[in-house]
Structure 1
Amino acid sequence: MAPSHYVNESVDCLAEVDLSKLANKTVVITGGSSGLGLAYVNALTSAGAFVVNGDIQPPQTVSHPDRTAFVKCDVTLWEQQVDVFKVAREKAPNGRIDVVIANAGIYGPDVLDGLDDDTPQKPVTKLLDVNLVGVLYTAKLAGWHFHHAKNEGGDRCLLLISSIMGYIDTQGSSVYSAAKHGVRGIMTCLRRKGLVRVNCLAPWFIATPIMPKSFIESTGAQFRAKGVDFATADDAVVAMACLATDTSINGRTLGIVPRQLSPSGYMDLESDDFEDGEPLGKLQSVASSLIYGEFGASNGKGA
């Protein structure tokens, strides 16, 4: 099945999602050993998918160990990500890779931390290496494997994990925000190339076991005072399944949000396009149809 070209159509986030459509798919996920990544792994395998998890540490427990394979992987190292995809291709029960989820991520300090130091210290950029460069590696490998399996039939889907911090102002780390804006940028460019079906998930705060209990309690109290709550891992799983199984969806970002904002716990953010009459809408229309030729574009000659 050829990848979808981008059409600006919102996702119906109240429609029922059939997780059984994940059965017999082979999924590659980075960062699937803890937090939201582990929730994806458990949901996918429970639905009958086979999952290859690339992470720096194996999970303590998984729901269906017979449907998972762990590959030790630091996503900042290209060669280790290559190994993850190689294992997935070799072990895939259906002989192909169907879904790739670029989930691995870390949190880190703000660029302006340490202003009281006696001398300026170089900012820590590992967060960008993991959250942005690692995603670029995953996207390239997904595109390469999808391209080389294009004659095998079936749908292929790349899911990139951005964040609500890729869309709104926050008091958090500006380095983290920059990385998540970057992930959003990867998706909005790839969606128009007709090479891969690509979408984003952008979670709001989700209370997972990797968060300190004190943080969950204090932040939860602040949320409730403002009339919202944490988003939930269960809703993130359904949103993931929606994007992974609906072959008509390409180039959309689903925000995982508090139930106060959406009955399903997720919504189409509808923030990656502009109205035709707006200046940015005009420029986006021109730029998205521009043929770059020899300047910085492969024009489909590769992934």
Structure 2
Amino acid sequence: MAQFHPPDSGVLRDKVVVITGGALGIASQLVRHCHSAGAHVIFGDVLTAPAEALIQSLSSASASNQVLKFVHTDVSSYAANLHLFSVAYDLCGRVDHAVSAAGVGERGHIVDETLTLESVREEPVDCMRTLDINLAGPLYFARIASVYLRQPSPAVSDPASTAVATDKSLTLVSSIAGFTEAPGLTVYSAAKHGVYGLMRALRGPLSKYAPQPIRTNAICPWMTETRMVGGIEDDWARAGLPRNSPMDVARVIAGE
């Protein structure tokens, strides 16, 4: 089986990285990893308290000119995604890497054997919130990222130049549920399949952007120890199945 060996984290020094979902879980470890590697990190989340706590825990280790910024961001809102990138661009003058990592688990049951001719008349608003965050969010993020990532860096500001300023990348976080069966996770699985499909649809066109091609990848983690897997840990352990730590996945994302 092939193995992926992430490059040395030194490649992230002075890079500008935009991340969604950075307050907790995998994305918070990605914020930590990129920051420790010397990157400028601008991240968005709806969870203000843990995001501010993360900022506080990292601030003492920041270099004098290193940017570390939290922006309150509801990824299901196009305007909020746009604001996140705008803040990063205003602070740093460019965006080098963009990672769509915000996500939520299944909410309710969109298909349920208890549904009746009466109850099925009620719109499944809470269920569809999973789709808004897990699929509409990455679609919005990718659209906006494709523009900000291809803007020339200050060092290559001549419109006539054909030089590539820096390596640029867009990374989308899907799931193993994005290409395998996930019984019971109906909307979550549909959304993560969509994210995987989004990567496949974008990677060709974005790689041909001139003068700045953009690499596009999707990460599909196996069970990872975050709050999203609450309730299945004991069964998982009894089955002897392997698991990831959030930092395991964060290092792979950083290597993309």
TM-score (ref. length: structure 1): 0.69
Q: Assess, with a 3 A threshold, how the Cα gap between structure 1 residues 229 and 191 changes in structure 2: closer, same or farther.
A: same
Query: 1:2-57 CA deviation, whole Å, 9 max, x = no partner?
Result: xxxxxxxx9741x3531121111110011111111111111110111111111113
**Counterpart in 1 of 2:58?**
64
Q: Assess, with a 3 A threshold, how the Cα gap between structure 1 residues 209 and 134 changes in structure 2: closer, same or farther.
A: closer
**Counterpart in 2 of 1:77?**
77
Q: Assess, with a 3 A threshold, how the Cα gap between structure 1 residues 86 and 16 changes in structure 2: closer, same or farther.
A: closer
- Kept in 2, the 8 Å contact 1:206–1:230? The answer is yes
Q: Assess, with a 3 A threshold, how the Cα gap between structure 1 residues 172 and 20 changes in structure 2: closer, same or farther.
A: farther
- Kept in 1, the 8 Å contact 2:30–2:251? The answer is no
Q: Assess, with a 3 A threshold, how the Cα gap between structure 1 residues 197 and 84 changes in structure 2: closer, same or farther.
A: same
Query: 1:176-203 CA deviation, whole Å, 9 max, x = no partner?
Result: 1010000011100111112321001111
Query: 1:265-295 CA deviation, whole Å, 9 max, x = no partner?
Result: xxxxxxxxxxxxxxxxxxxxxxxxxxxxxxx
- In structure 2, the residue corresponding to 1:191 is in which secondary structure? helix
- Kept in 2, the 8 Å contact 1:75–1:130? The answer is yes
Aligned AA (1:64): L
Q: 1:133 aligns with which of 124, 133, 136?
A: 136
- In structure 2, the residue corresponding to 1:61 is in which secondary structure? helix
Q: Residues of 2 paired with 1:199 and 1:110: CA distance?
A: 30
Alignment of 1:253-264 (within 5 A): none
Aligned AA (1:33): A
In the alignment, is residue 147 of structure 1 matched against residue 150 of structure 2?
Answer: yes
Alignment of 1:237-256 (within 5 A): 237-243=250-256
Identity, in percent, stands at 32
Q: 2:178 aligns with which of 166, 184, 204?
A: 166
Structure 2 unaligned spans of 5+: 158-164
CA apart distance, 1:96: 1.5
Aligned-residue CA RMSD in angstroms? Answer: 2.1
- Kept in 1, the 8 Å contact 2:6–2:251? The answer is no
Structure 1 unaligned spans of 5+: 1-9, 244-303
In the alignment, is residue 227 of structure 1 matched against residue 240 of structure 2?
Answer: yes
Bigger Cα displacement from structure 2, 104-113 vs 77-86: 104-113
CA apart distance, 1:84: 0.8
CA apart distance, 1:228: 1.3
Bigger Cα displacement from structure 2, 51-60 vs 95-104: 51-60
Q: Assess, with a 3 A threshold, how the Cα gap between structure 1 residues 114 and 32 changes in structure 2: closer, same or farther.
A: farther
**Counterpart in 1 of 2:123?**
122
**Counterpart in 2 of 1:260?**
none
The size of the alignment, in residue pairs, is 226
Alignment of 1:202-213 (within 5 A): 202-208=220-226, 212=230
CA apart distance, 1:209: 5.0
- Kept in 1, the 8 Å contact 2:104–2:228? The answer is no
Q: Residues of 2 paired with 1:146 and 1:172: CA distance?
A: 37
- Kept in 2, the 8 Å contact 1:220–1:229? The answer is no
CA apart distance, 1:241: 1.8
- In structure 1, the residue corresponding to 2:197 is in which secondary structure? helix
In the alignment, is residue 104 of structure 1 matched against residue 102 of structure 2?
Answer: yes
- Kept in 1, the 8 Å contact 2:94–2:151? The answer is no
Q: Assess, with a 3 A threshold, how the Cα gap between structure 1 residues 16 and 130 changes in structure 2: closer, same or farther.
A: closer
Q: 2:218 aligns with which of 187, 197, 200?
A: 200
Q: 2:32 aligns with which of 42, 48, 58?
A: 42
- Greater helix proportion: 2
